[in-house]
Amino acid sequence: MQQITAAALSAWLADEARAHPQLVDVREAWEFEISHIAGSLHMPMGQVPARAGELDAQADVVVICHHGARSMQVGVYLEKHGFARVHNLVGGVDAWARSVDPAMPAY
C-alpha cells in the first residue's frame, strides 16, 4: 500500500490531466458530518466488507480516516481482496485540515 500526504493528494485532485482517485472515508457518521474531503464516499470501517463491491478494484483508491490508522487497516483489507492501487492518507483529515484546508473543522 502506498502512503500519500495531504499535500500530494491535494495536488492530484487539482490535476485536471490525471484521473481522480476514489476517496473512501472510513470514519463514523458523526465524524464525517463534522468534516470530510469533498467528493469522498462515506463507508464506515465496519461496512467495508459488505460494501467493497461499490468500489472499482482497478482504480486508485485513497482511504481516509481521522489520523491514518483506521484507513491503513482498511487499505490492507482492500489489498487482500484484490485492490491493487490503494493509498492511505497519512495523517487523515486532521492533516488535510492543517495543511490543505484550514477552514475545515478539526476535532
Q: List the beta strands (DSSP E) in the chain.
A: 2-4, 22-25, 41-42, 61-64, 86-89
Q: How far apart are CA 94 and CA 105, in angstroms?
A: 9
Q: Which of 65, 78, 86, 93 is catalytic?
A: 65
65 is catalytic: yes
Residue 3, C-alpha cell as written in the block: 502512503
Cα 65 to chain center, whole Å? 7
How many other CB atoms are found less than 10 A from the CB of residue 106? Answer: 14
**Euclidean distance between CA atoms 37 and 23, whole angstroms:** 8
Catalytically active residues are 65
